[in-house]
Amino acid sequence: MTILEQGGATAPQAVDLIKDTTTQSFVQDVIEESKRQPVLIDFWAPWCGPCKQLTPILEKAVRGAKGKVKLVKMNIDDHPAIPGQMGIQSIPAVIAFVNGQPADGFMGAVPESQVAAFIDKLTAGMPGGGPSAAELIQEAEAIFAEGDPAGAASVYAEVLNADASNIPALAGLARCYMATGETEQAKQTLALVPEAKRSDAAVTAVQASIDLAEQASALGPITELEQKVAANPLDHQARFDLATALNAAGKRAEATGHLLEIVKRDRKWNEDGARKQLVQFFEAWGPTDDATVDGRKRLSTILFS
């Protein structure tokens, strides 16, 4: 069970403000879902020109509602039973379901302003004007800093429920998974980040954490590595491995100390490997982490004194 499942939150893979439905999934996608928030069902067909005009308008308006309403689309050519039962005779036709029942609707390719007004009317009285995505992300970061990754994950999931492509929220959720040792879930979450956004600082930080965790998983127990270093302080590889394992165990200061010791003894060892590993630590920890700030100072002292 993941931290999101424990907290009753929703993983980003499951978040879907806009989806297609079938005759078989209509009850779950529309009837049941409308008991949680209003659902618009858009009846359309590939040959329908006005449908092609309306669909992007509907999608934009639903995204703009930030989770207050969902859009479900049904191709009436592939699934004629439901529109037949509902008496839909021309398309596009949009029916709003609330609390499991049809509540309102309209026909034809209406303008964007009319769609927005329809949604406003449908959601009137619903909780609104809540915190923005940026405010929620700040809240999640504060919760995470207090040592509650599960609580932070729930807030990140709330952001993703409204915008499944929010990069800071995806990175934050992945970081929460890493904090609870769920490396595979972190990797799956980070895989949702588009290639063009992979260089985002928050994304690269989590990726560095994942890389370091996978490095550490291939190493032996910390006690064995400590014994190797004690037996031969010049065994830089053993000290390097010990630093990696200590970092995975959350012992950042000790991990930093061992890598700095290699830098002091043999800067060129393994093509400057100790310094490079330190830089990866700093990236994973974040620029404002106390261990990063202290480690950078100590590294600078060695390199430039």
DSSP-H helix ranges across 44-166: 49-64, 81-85, 112-122, 133-145, 149-162
131-138: long-range contacts, CB 8 A cutoff, minimum separation 24? 133/159, 133/162, 133/163, 133/166, 133/169, 136/169, 137/166, 137/168, 137/169, 137/172
Show which residues are catalytic: 48, 51
Starting at the edge strand found earlier in the chain, the sheet holding 39-44 runs: 18-20, 70-75, 39-44, 93-98, 101-107
40 phi/psi in degrees, rounded to 5: -95, 130
The half-sphere exposure of 266 on its side-chain side, counting CA atoms within 13 A, is 12
Token readout for 207 is 């990726």
Residue with tokens 């993703």: 160
Token readout for 59 is 């999608």
Question: What is the Cα–Cα distance from 181 to 140, expressed in whole angstroms?
Answer: 18
DSSP-H helix ranges across the chain: 3-6, 26, 49-64, 81-85, 112-122, 133-145, 149-162, 167-179, 183-190, 201-217, 222-231, 236-248, 252-265, 273-285, 290-304
Taking the alpha carbons at both ends of the chain, their separation in whole angstroms is 50
**Closest to 182 (Cα-Cα) out of 8, 5, 15, 13:** 5
For β-strands 18-20 and 93-98, DSSP reports them as: unpaired
